[in-house]
Structure 1
Amino acid sequence: MRRRTAALIALTAALSACTTVRHPHQPAAVLHCENGETVEVGYAGDLAIVTYKNRKHTMRTAISGSGARYVGEGLEWWTKGFEEGTIAVLPPGEQVSTGERVVCRAGPPPE
């Protein structure tokens, strides 16, 4: 009986530590950019899976002064929530993009 109780306690503890994470292949948000492109982004742990210009990029969190910033595969995605973000090219060796940032917003495409 003690073994079953111990096993039940261990199972309960393991299950309570689980969290729900959105599947990285399903976008959490679709944002329309000022350049006419679309960004689809999903989050899983410290990753952002960003589809931009029909190419999927896996990005990791990076240091930011404010908001959440993700970098990887030559791009930087910087957002302050799910409603707006900027995307920019991140050249090799750079930590923060110094190039043009494209603003992307949730909702209908810009006219």
Structure 2
Amino acid sequence: MRFKTLYTLPAALLSTALAGGAGQPQAAPLKLSQDTHVYACQNGQTVQVAYVRADTAGQGGPSFAVLKYRGQSYGLAEAVSGSGARYVGHAGLNTASGLEWWEHQGEATLSTFRGNDARTTSTLLTCKVAR
């Protein structure tokens, strides 16, 4: 299942928010796009993921994922990967552990890691995009 949303913030609103007031130089509009997918995982579990991308004046920008897993939402930042899309972040305010979501061609893995080292993970779920 897939949903797509596009948000555009007016330049005046964005520049006022970023510059701290009116009368500041105008920034290019920020466009946010969102693709939401539902993944079917082991033991009948599901994970809903919203992939959010920012674009300023066609220059691209940061990308992140918002996962809904077991009734909780987690915001994960894009991370380096050899292939596919990889996102990591701490599990809320708890910096003792974190989550990694790694998706490639409709298949994904949800893993956990300890502390700030996302290089060593333990797999929680393997999933496939629901069609």
Distance 1:70 1:79 in 2: 9
Residue correspondences, number: 88
User: What do residues 2-50 of structure 1 show as CA deviations (whole Å, max 9, x unaligned)?
Assistant: xxxxxxxxxxxx57xx64512xxxx610001113321100011211001
Q: Distance in 1 between matches of 2:43 and 2:101?
A: 15
Q: How does 1:1-111 map to 2 (within 5 A)?
A: 19=31, 21-22=33-34, 28-45=36-53, 46-73=63-90, 74-81=98-105, 83-107=106-130
Structure with larger Rg: 1
Amino acid in structure 1 at the alignment position of 2:51: Y
| Contact 1:35/1:102, CA 8 A, preserved across alignment | no
Cα distance in structure 2, aligned partners of 1:38 and 1:97: 24
Amino acid in structure 2 at the alignment position of 1:32 = A
Contact 2:101/2:108 (CA < 8 Å) preserved in 1?
Answer: yes
Structure 2 alignment gaps of length 5 or more: 1-27, 54-62, 91-97
Specify which structure has the higher proportion of strand: 2
Greater RCO, 1 or 2 (C-alpha within 8 Å, sep 6+)? 1
Tell me by how many angstroms 1:95 deviates.
2.0
C-alpha displacement of 1:98: 2.5
TM-score (ref. length: structure 2): 0.58
**Cα distance change, pair 77–97 in 1 and its aligned pair in 2 (3 A):** farther
- SS state at 1:100 partner: strand
**Runs of 5+ unmatched residues, structure 1:** 1-13
Mapped to 1, the partners of 2:68 and 2:43 lie a distance apart of 15
